[in-house]
């Protein structure tokens, strides 16, 4: 019994110690961004610079391609010999550690495509406030503690997709299905909202929708069920190409592939990507979602080498890809 | 209780006098296996560390060392809880999902329901505890294998986390208004002692010390090792087997929930996908720490050393920009090596 008391006492002491320590804590990384002098990080054309790129995951082909684009673009800048990549594997906590490691290594510039906004906000702010320029790609963090953001306007992409349905595919109205991205992710919200704006005022109705989690297999599975419930559907609007491909497979299995039209988003210029799927006739169309890798490297060059100010927000343009221009776009995106 | 089944040695305790027999010396070596491993990896990290602009060893900077402890704190807390379950020859696969459930729970209670920090934390810890008790009861009373029970638990906790959050990440913003969490909770993301020591690292230290003391000074630990060694014999000699098992699973659930609170506080959000596959990292820490999955041998000290070893490994690999594929490979080899060393250990 005496021993139990002793350990209880020890535990109580420990708790007290933590509480006491917590009382003396100073907030260091809460609060606002400190304005950064755009010239401070610049070392001019004679320097050699280290860039750290923290990627949210490499499970999505889109992100693999983003890293490749950064690598390729950096090779063309003689001052960027050392570009290091980290993969957070969809884990916010791991991504925080990845950024910490980059800061320990004293990289000259941080590129990051955050897994989620809120969990990465603090560490990105800490990097920015310590004087490391931050280039955000594809996804944002909260607040404005970053140097520049390079990404697409997902709502605009959705709107263009909607207008394509309204003006080209179904000018007299039609019944369509929607395969959405992972519920809770911002692009899924925006690609849906934009699409609704795009088809506003038309006779197009979405008769069925489901969450395909951005993945091909899940898109196929959801389409199986949607087809059974809605045999009168005429087309599918999918939030990305892999899910559209999955939906195509489901329709093929049901013997309906040629009665339906499939439209996706992403247009990755790789063998297994959406542009090829359009070229080979599985998809009716897709909308280009540029990775921004090249633009991010250009921004980094402006900041570190050219000593020029960068825009806070760089919105990348999208592009409609159909059978007519698929070959040309594919070649253009793969040159260099 | 004989010295040979008694595994728990406090750090810094004098080593048993060598010379009694060669076997005992070997036994001592194995007992501190993970500690030696930790020292070896630490020294290797110093040698392999990249240098900064002014030549300092980056790995050894105070900032970096504390980053390591901060980064392993969640896995460390989980692994401490797991050790209890694994010592009795069980396994708990639900800890990663319970962490996610607790992270979501913390966020929802603080932000959507405007609870105070203490009440929310106690509620979340209670959820973890009850979850553990239920799993323990299914294992002990119904006699279902722990692997199956906690595999079900993994799915149930993940489902609950998704339901509670509506499948969305719940962001935590701080302030006194409605829909904001009290500032106190944001301390989990801060550093203390002059902005040096991360609070999660402190919490990990407290959990570690409490677990070590608990195993050192309570009768409960004898029961744990007895059941892990030979459950039938333990039952016959009057050990309350069912109760001990339920407590082990309860402690594991409690630790996972605590790790979830730390997770939400560090990241200012609770996401239903938090803690995915963390159970595997936790088990890895326990195994590298020299605890046998067959039960009956191992220690919390070892687990803590194991967690730190893996943390240092992750850190030095990423400081050297070793790519992710290679990192996974090396981590796997370290786990296999630790387990292989255990096989060489003479039977007690």
pLDDT for A7: 47
State whether B171 and A92 contact (CB < 8 Å): no
- Nearest by Cα to A288 from A164, A174, A200: A164
d(CA B343, CA B149): 28
Q: Is the pLDDT assigned to residue B27 strictly greater than 80?
A: no
Test mutation, B191, B269, B270, B314, chain A, max A CBs within 10 A? B269
Q: Quick check: A84 contacting B, CB < 8 Å?
A: yes
Phi first, then psi, for residue B91 (nearest 5°) are: -150, 150
pLDDT in tens, B67-105: 999 999 999 999 999 999 999 999 999 999 999 999 999
Using a pLDDT cut of 90, give the percent of chain B over it.
71
Test mutation, A32, A97, A143, A183, chain B, max B CBs within 10 A? A97
* Alpha helices per DSSP H over A34-166: 61-75, 92-104, 117-129, 154-164
* Contact predicate B161/B104, CB 8 Å: yes
Our CA-based measurement puts residue B69 at a distance from the nearest CA of chain A, in whole angstroms, of 11
Give me chain B's average pLDDT, please: 90
* Contact predicate A88/A57, CB 8 Å: yes
DSSP one-letter string for B102-129: HHHHHHIIIIIS---HHHHHHHHHHHHH
What number is the average pLDDT over the span B27-49?
86
- List, in sequence order, every residue forming a beta bridge with B197; answer none if it has no partner: B192
Q: How many CB pairs under 8 A join A and B?
A: 130
Q: Give the residue from chain B lying closest to A22, CA to CA.
A: B192
- In this complex, the residue of A7, A27, A92 whose CB is nearest that of residue B267 is A92
d(CA A70, CA B70): 30
How many helices (H) and strands (E) are present in chain A, helices listed first?
11, 12
Angle, helix B278-288 to helix B324-344, in steps of 10 degrees = 40
* Contact predicate A262/A56, CB 8 Å: no
Test mutation, B318, B322, B325, B331, chain A, max A CBs within 10 A? B318
d(CA A219, CA B229): 49
What is the 3-state secondary structure of B80-100?
Answer: HHHHHHHHCCCCCCCHHHHHH
Our CA-based measurement puts residue A222 at a distance from the nearest CA of chain B, in whole angstroms, of 18
pLDDT for A32: 66
d(CA A72, CA B122): 51
User: Which residues of chain A fall short of a pLDDT of 70?
Assistant: 1-32, 35-39, 184, 336
State whether B169 and A24 contact (CB < 8 Å): no
- In this complex, the residue of A25, A89, A104 whose CB is nearest that of residue B319 is A104
Q: DSSP 3-state assignment of A38?
A: coil
How many other CB atoms are found less than 10 A from the CB of residue A167? 12
d(CA A74, CA A113): 17
Q: Is the pLDDT assigned to residue B159 strictly greater than 50?
A: yes
pLDDT for B9: 43
d(CA A169, CA A205): 13
* Contact predicate A204/A166, CB 8 Å: yes
Q: Please identify which residue in the block is written with the tokens 């296996």.
A: B33
Angle, helix B62-87 to helix A92-104, in steps of 10 degrees = 150
The pTM of this model reads 0.86
pLDDT band per the 50, 70, 90 thresholds, residue B198: very high
Residues 6+ apart with CB under 8 A from B315: A97, A101, B45, B59, B64, B67, B68, B71
pLDDT for A35: 66
List of chain A residues whose C-beta atoms are within 8 Å of the C-beta of residue B270: none
* Contact predicate A97/B71, CB 8 Å: yes
State whether A97 and B314 contact (CB < 8 Å): yes
Residues 6+ apart with CB under 8 A from A251: A223, A227, A236, A257, A259, A260, A262
Q: How far is CA B95 from CA A77, B100, B243, in A?
A: 47, 9, 20
pLDDT for B346: 64
How many other CB atoms are found less than 10 A from the CB of residue A21? 15
Chain A, 124 to 163: residues with Cβ < 8 Å from chain B are 142
pLDDT for A31: 57
d(CA A285, CA B157): 40
pLDDT for A14: 47
pLDDT band per the 50, 70, 90 thresholds, residue B150: very high
Q: Please identify which residue in the block is written with the tokens 């301390």.
A: B187
């Amino acid at each position: 019994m005496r021993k139990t008391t002793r350990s209880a006492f020890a535990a109580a002491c420990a708790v007290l110690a933590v509480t006491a320590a917590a009382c003396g804590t100073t907030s260091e990384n809460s609060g606002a961004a400190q304005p950064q002098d755009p010239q401070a990080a610049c070392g001019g054309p004679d320097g050699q610079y280290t860039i750290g790129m923290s990627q949210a995951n490499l499970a999505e082909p889109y992100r693999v391609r983003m890293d490749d684009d950064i690598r390729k673009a950096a090779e063309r800048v003689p001052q960027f010999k050392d570009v290091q990549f980290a993969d957070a594997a969809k884990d916010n906590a791991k991504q925080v550690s990845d950024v910490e490691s980059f800061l320990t290594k004293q990289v000259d510039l941080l590129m990051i495509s955050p897994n989620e906004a809120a969990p990465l906000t603090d560490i990105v702010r800490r990097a920015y406030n310590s004087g490391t320029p931050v280039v955000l790609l594809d996804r944002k963090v909260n607040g404005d503690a970053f140097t520049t953001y390079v990404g697409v306007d997902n709502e605009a992409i959705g709107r263009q997709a909607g207008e394509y349905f309204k003006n080209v595919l179904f000018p007299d109205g039609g019944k369509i299905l929607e395969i959405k991205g992972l519920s809770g992710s911002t692009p899924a919200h925006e690609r849906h909202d934009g699409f609704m704006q795009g088809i506003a005022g038309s006779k197009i109705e979405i008769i069925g929708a489901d969450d395909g989690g951005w993945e091909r297999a899940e898109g196929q599975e959801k389409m199986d069920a949607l087809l059974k419930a809605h045999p009168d559907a005429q087309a599918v609007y999918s939030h990305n190409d892999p899910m559209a491909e999955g939906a195509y497979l489901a329709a093929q299995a049901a013997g309906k592939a040629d009665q339906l039209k499939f439209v996706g988003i992403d247009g990755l210029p790789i063998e297994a990507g959406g542009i090829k799927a359009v070229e080979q006739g599985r998809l009716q169309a897709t909308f280009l979602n540029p990775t921004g890798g090249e633009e991010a490297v250009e921004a980094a060059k402006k900041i570190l080498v050219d000593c020029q100010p960068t825009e806070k927000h760089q919105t990348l343009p999208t592009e409609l890809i159909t059978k007519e221009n698929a070959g040309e776009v594919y070649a253009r995106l793969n040159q260099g | 209780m004989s010295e040979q089944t008694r595994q728990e040695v406090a750090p810094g305790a004098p080593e048993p006098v060598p010379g009694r027999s060669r076997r005992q010396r070997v036994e001592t070596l194995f007992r501190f296996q993970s500690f030696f491993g930790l020292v070896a990896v630490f020294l290797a990290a110093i040698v392999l560390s990249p240098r900064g602009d002014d030549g300092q060893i980056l790995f050894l900077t105070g900032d970096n060392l504390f980053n390591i402890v901060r980064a392993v704190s969640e896995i460390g807390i989980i692994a401490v809880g797991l050790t209890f379950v694994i010592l009795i020859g069980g396994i708990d696969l639900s800890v990663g999902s319970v962490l996610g459930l607790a992270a979501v729970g913390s966020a929802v209670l603080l932000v959507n329901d405007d609870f105070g920090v203490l009440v929310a934390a106690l509620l979340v810890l209670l959820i973890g505890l009850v979850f553990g008790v239920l799993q323990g009861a299914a294992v002990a009373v119904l006699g279902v294998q722990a692997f199956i029970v906690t595999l079900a638990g993994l799915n149930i906790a993940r489902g609950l986390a998704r339901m509670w959050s509506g499948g969305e990440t719940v962001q935590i913003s701080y302030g006194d208004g409605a829909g904001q969490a009290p500032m106190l909770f944001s301390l989990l993301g801060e550093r203390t002692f002059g902005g040096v020591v991360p609070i999660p690292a402190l919490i990990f230290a407290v959990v570690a010390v409490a677990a070590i003391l608990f195993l050192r000074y309570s009768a409960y630990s004898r029961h744990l090792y007895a059941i892990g060694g030979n459950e039938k014999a333990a039952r016959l000699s009057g050990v309350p087997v069912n109760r001990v098992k339920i407590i082990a699973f309860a402690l594991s659930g409690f630790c996972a929930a605590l790790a979830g609170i730390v997770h939400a506080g560090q990241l200012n959000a609770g996401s239903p996908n938090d803690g995915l596959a963390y159970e595997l990292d936790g088990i890895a820490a326990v195994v590298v720490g020299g605890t046998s999955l067959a039960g009956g041998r191992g220690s919390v000290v070892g687990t803590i050393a194991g967690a730190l070893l893996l943390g240092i490994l992750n850190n030095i690999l990423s400081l050297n920009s070793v790519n992710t594929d290679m990192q996974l490979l090396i981590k796997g080899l370290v786990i296999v090596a630790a387990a292989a060393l255990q096989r060489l250990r003479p039977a007690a």
